[in-house]
Amino acid sequence: MKIIYTVIIVALILFVVTFSLQNTLSVHLVYYDVLDVVLPVYMLIFIVFIIGLVFAGLMGIVERYRLNRTINRLNRMVRDLKRDVRENEPPVVLDETKTTESERPV
């Protein structure tokens, strides 16, 4: 299994290197007067990809937090319902008249 992971990692690194070598044209980015940058196309694509990963990770963290709150609320509700059932359960009463002859003590 470790060999498969190594092969996958090497293939990804090879892809990144060859992609970078094939896309070296410069791009001039301007955003009003705030941003004025010249960088290669591959760098722009990688930066946008990393920003997307960070954004997706943050959305995942928010979703996990929301689901944990829901799980805690439902666990609390289950605990309360179990407690209510135990409190409202009638006590167990043994009926001597319904016992069979084999169950009666000698």
**Structure confidence by residue, pLDDT tens digits, 4-30:** 999 999 999 999 899 889 988 999 999
| Chain position carrying tokens 């960088």 | 39
94 within a domain of the structure (yes/no): no
98 within a domain of the structure (yes/no): no
Overall domain count for the chain: 1
Q: How far apart are CA 20 and CA 12, in angstroms?
A: 12
Q: How far apart are CA 97 and CA 104, in angstroms?
A: 10
19 within a domain of the structure (yes/no): no
The pLDDT assigned to 99 comes to 57
CB atoms within 10 A of CB 44: 15
The pLDDT assigned to 104 comes to 56
64 within a domain of the structure (yes/no): yes
Residue 37 host element (H or E): strand 35-40
70 within a domain of the structure (yes/no): yes
This prediction has a pTM of 0.61
The pLDDT assigned to 57 comes to 96
27 within a domain of the structure (yes/no): no
The residue range of the domain holding 67 is: 42-86
Q: What is the pLDDT of residues 54-98, one digit of tens each?
A: 999 999 999 999 999 999 999 999 999 999 998 888 877 777 666
